[in-house]
Amino acid sequence: MIPQEIIRRKRDGKVLTGDEIAAFIAALTKEEISEGQAAAFAMAVFFRGMSRDETVALTLAMRDSGTVLNWDALDRPVADKHSTGGVGDNVSLMLAPIVAACGLAVPMISGRGLGHTGGTLDKLQSIPGYNVMPDEVLFRKVVREVGCAIIGQTSDLAPADRRLYGIRDVTATVESVPLITASILSKKLAAGLGSLVLDVKVGNGAFMESPEEAEALARSLVEVANGAGVKTAALLTDMNQPLADAAGNALEIVNCLDFLAGLKAGTRLEAVALAEAAEMLVQAGVASNLAEAEENARLALSSGEAMERFARMVHALGGPADFCERPDSYLERAPVRLRVPAPRDGYLAACETRAIGLAVVELGGGRKRAADPIDHRVGISELLPLGRQVSEGEPIAMVHARTKEDAERIAEDIARFYTISDAPVAAAPVILKRIG
């Protein structure tokens, strides 16, 4: 295999064979390819694209660059979900225990915050003692005994993806649909899944802001995952406002517990969580249709079984045994809390969702550099949904900050991020399309 010949062929718009792609990724993993060659390959793919078969081959090569888990010994279907990320998107936290209570095994490999979006691992590390990087023995034990475990990507899962992603990040090739597809799916397929549900966000708080871009990515993910042998469907969901009414790590853990306790009924968050749960149960074959699957998910919530699964997962991975009973005893609170008043009467018509996510980063709840520490206490809660009628001075959000100065500055920003109209605003649907 001569790396520059593969780069040249892709540069010139040729279709690469599976063997060529596998050889290139194997050499990349062994560091037999320079960063310059990897960057050139990424740029060639960025401009020339890849066919479905090429993208499947790239995904499988990256999957096979490290350990691929096998769950054949389990007596339950193995399934997972992936979200492309947004603000207040903490669905994974409650979704895993819901579907585990319905009979699935969920080995969920999650990530940290990226840009303006929150990371599931950062949220879970708000819980004292929770181990997001257990060894494989403990990971398997928790999945087997609890039904779900949410952890981070270990060093031996899809190592080629880590190297290629780091190069893409500094060469302006992140947005390539084939490269995004292979990056997402290589990690998921390495977890040994039988089925997968994807949540592709679209809107001003998503990485894909236009419906056309989001649908193109969703179709690529679905086609490639199914081509790789994993039954997969995708939902396009709206991210033109925060999904939950809280954004920030510990605040979203509280939101998760409230959801599992049945306190978020009728919200956009519930609509997405139940829709994804239903898709997972149907894809995995434990429910015959979406209506039956959603009813099963609702029963898992109302019976308390989903909350019990979450509590068992937390304890099994090192967290307090009574965390769900006494979260206030374990979750740290920000020293300063400040309400954000509505600047005038009217209806909440629009918001700058990405800016709200970046406000959490400014408070210290996200990273500006990879090595930055996270303050799990800070964030924004009590965010009102679009369409809500408000009066001047009425709180539309609550800022949780380290200092009074931070709180005042961010509160002023949040008030500016919302557009208030004189006329009522129709609520936009949260689930826009299903692809599968």
Query: Catalytic: which of 48, 76, 112, 168?
Result: 168
The DSSP code for 192 is T
Kind plus residue range of the DSSP H or E element containing 79:
strand 79-83
Distance, CA of 368 to chain centre: 19
Would you call 80 a catalytic residue per the annotation?
Answer: yes
How far does the chain reach from its first CA to its final CA, in angstroms? 36
Query: Catalytic: which of 10, 76, 188, 298?
Result: 188
Would you call 188 a catalytic residue per the annotation?
Answer: yes
Tokens of 135: 């060894």
Kind plus residue range of the DSSP H or E element containing 307:
helix 305-316
Would you call 34 a catalytic residue per the annotation?
Answer: no
- By residue count, the chain amounts to 436
Would you call 65 a catalytic residue per the annotation?
Answer: no
* Pair 122, 112: CB distance under 8 Å: yes
Query: Catalytic: which of 29, 55, 59, 83?
Result: 83
**Among candidates 174, 111, 117, 122, which has minimal Cα distance to 354?**
117
Query: Catalytic: which of 48, 76, 82, 354?
Result: 82
Query: Catalytic: which of 10, 63, 76, 81?
Result: 81
Would you call 267 a catalytic residue per the annotation?
Answer: no
Query: Catalytic: which of 80, 161, 238, 406?
Result: 80
Find tokens 């066919």 and name the residue: 51
Would you call 81 a catalytic residue per the annotation?
Answer: yes
Query: Catalytic: which of 120, 173, 181, 220?
Result: 120
Query: Catalytic: which of 65, 173, 183, 232?
Result: 183
How many Å apart are CA 196 and CA 405, to the nearest integer? 44
Would you call 372 a catalytic residue per the annotation?
Answer: no
Query: Catalytic: which of 10, 63, 123, 187?
Result: 187
User: Is 339 exposed, middle or buried, given 0-12, 13-18 or 19+ CB atoms closer than 10 A?
Assistant: middle
Would you call 67 a catalytic residue per the annotation?
Answer: no
Would you call 82 a catalytic residue per the annotation?
Answer: yes
Distance, CA of 277 to chain centre: 15
Tell me the catalytic residues: 80-83, 120, 168, 183, 187-188
